[in-house]
Chain A
Amino acid sequence: MNNHTDSELLVMFRNPETKHYAFNLLVKKYQERLYWQIRKIVISHDDADDVIQNTFLKVWGGLENFREDSQLFTWLYRIATNEALTFLKKKRTKLLLPIVDVEQQLMRTMEGDPFIDGDKTQLKLQKAILKLPEKQRIVFNMKYFEEMKYEEISKILGTSVGALKASFHHAVKKIEKFLEED
C-alpha cells in the first residue's frame, strides 16, 4: 500500500534515481479521486481515460517546479478540472457545437455508454445535474458527491467561498425544479 506522504513523494521525485518510482506512487495514490472528478465532468469513460492521462502528463512536466505553499492534492485537482473543461471546450470547437448541444451529447452518453450503470434515480439525478451550467455542475459535484469544504473548492477553482455557496444553492434549487418537472 502507498503510505508515503506528499512531501516524501516530492523529495523522491526530485531525486533523478527515484523520480519515476515516486511518480508511479503518486499516480497510484491519486488516480481514483482524480478519475472520478474528471468522469463527472466528461461523463464518458473513454474521454475520462484520455483526460486523466493528459492530466498526469501535465503533472509530470510541472511537478519539478511545484511549490509546497499549496497542497499537492489541490494542485492536482485543479489541473484535472482544467483539463476536463478544456477537453469539453475542444470537443465543442471541433464539432462546432453550441453549449446546449454538448450537454445533449453528454446526456446521450449517459444513456449509451457501456460503463454507466445505476438505478433509475441515480441516472435521473445525473441528467438533472447535466442541465446545470458548467461551473455550477462542477461545484455541485464537488460539494454533493465529494463532500468537500468550500475553502478547499475555493482553492481548486479560484472562486470565493461566498460565490461558491451561492452557486451551490442555485444548483440545488435548479436540480429540485428539474426533478419536479421531469
Chain B
Amino acid sequence: MKSLEEKFNKKLPFKVPEGYFDSLPLRVQERIASTETQSTPKGKWIALRSQLSFAAGFAFMAMLSYLGYYMARPLIADKKTAKTDYVEIVSRTIYEFDDIDLYQAIEQKKKTDSLKESFKEMPHRLYVRSNNCITIIDEKEEIKP
C-alpha cells in the first residue's frame, strides 16, 4: 500500500465539462418534473393513450377473426354433416369408363357362368377344355360300390 502511495498520487485522471456541477441540479429537477408529468392523471392518460390504441387495434383484429370464423362455420358444418353421395363420387371418379368396356365385361361374365353350369351337368364325362369351349371326348361309366 505504501509503495503504491509513494509511486502514485491519489489524484484521479478524470475531469468534467466546465460548469457541469452548476447545471446538474437544474437538469435533475427537469428530469423529476418530466417524470412527475407522466405520473399525473393527464400524463398517465397520455402514456396510456398509445397503449389503449394498440389494444383497440388488437381487439378489432380479434373480433374480425372471430366473426370470420363464425360466419364460415355453417359451411364447414354442412360439409361435415352432408351424406356421402356415392353416385356423384362414382360419376366423378370413373368418368373414363367406357360403355363398351361394360358390355364386354358383362359378356365375359355370362360366358364364365355358362361354363361353370356345364361342368356341373357333366361330372361323368371326359372333356377337353380350351378357350371358352368344351369338347366331350367320352362318357365315364358310373362306378358303383
Question: In the bound complex, do residue B13 and residue A144 qualify as a contact, i.e. CB atoms below 8 Å apart?
Answer: no
Please name all residues of chain B whose beta carbon is closer than 8 Å to the beta carbon of A126 when the two chains form the complex: 12-13
Please name all residues of chain B whose beta carbon is closer than 8 Å to the beta carbon of A122 when the two chains form the complex: 8-9, 11-13
Question: In the bound complex, do residue A176 and residue B4 qualify as a contact, i.e. CB atoms below 8 Å apart?
Answer: yes
CB closest residue in chain A, given B33: A20
Per the 8 Å Cβ criterion, residues 109-131 of A in contact with B are 115-119, 121-126
CB closest residue in chain B, given A173: B1
Question: In the bound complex, do residue B12 and residue A36 qualify as a contact, i.e. CB atoms below 8 Å apart?
Answer: yes
Interface size on A, residues (CB 8 A): 36
CA distance A31 to B11 in the complex (A): 19
For residue B116, CB closer than 8 A to chain A, the reply is no
Question: In the bound complex, do residue B15 and residue A27 qualify as a contact, i.e. CB atoms below 8 Å apart?
Answer: no
For residue B100, CB closer than 8 A to chain A, the reply is no
Question: In the bound complex, do residue B11 and residue A176 qualify as a contact, i.e. CB atoms below 8 Å apart?
Answer: no
Per the 8 Å Cβ criterion, residues 25-53 of B in contact with A are 25, 27-29, 31-32, 35
For residue B95, CB closer than 8 A to chain A, the reply is no
CA distance A175 to B3 in the complex (A): 11
For residue A56, CB closer than 8 A to chain B, the reply is yes
CA distance A118 to B12 in the complex (A): 7
CA distance A53 to B31 in the complex (A): 8
Q: A24-B29, A52-B24 are in contact. Are A121 and B14 (CB under 8 A)?
A: no
For residue A73, CB closer than 8 A to chain B, the reply is no
Question: In the bound complex, do residue A115 and residue B25 qualify as a contact, i.e. CB atoms below 8 Å apart?
Answer: no
Please name all residues of chain B whose beta carbon is closer than 8 Å to the beta carbon of A57 when the two chains form the complex: 28, 31-32, 35
For residue A66, CB closer than 8 A to chain B, the reply is no
Minimum distance in angstroms from A47 CB to a CB of chain B: 12
Per the 8 Å Cβ criterion, residues 23-81 of A in contact with B are 23-24, 27-28, 31-32, 35-36, 39-40, 43, 45, 49, 52-53, 56-57, 60
Please name all residues of chain B whose beta carbon is closer than 8 Å to the beta carbon of A119 when the two chains form the complex: 13
Contact residue among A40, A115, A176 (Cβ-Cβ distance under 8 Å from B3): A176
Q: A40-B12, A56-B28 are in contact. Are A115 and B21 (CB under 8 A)?
A: no
Task: List chain A positions with a Cβ less than 8 A from chain B.
Answer: 20, 23-24, 27-28, 31-32, 35-36, 39-40, 43, 45, 49, 52-53, 56-57, 60, 115-119, 121-126, 144-145, 172, 175-176, 179
Closest 7 CB pairs of A and B: A118-B13, A122-B13, A27-B25, A125-B8, A56-B28, A115-B15, A27-B28
27 A–B contacts, CB within 8 A, in A order? A20-B29, A20-B32, A23-B32, A28-B25, A31-B24, A35-B16, A36-B14, A40-B12, A53-B24, A53-B31, A56-B28, A57-B32, A57-B35, A115-B15, A115-B16, A116-B13, A116-B14, A117-B13, A118-B11, A118-B12, A118-B14, A121-B9, A124-B8, A126-B12, A144-B10, A172-B1, A172-B4
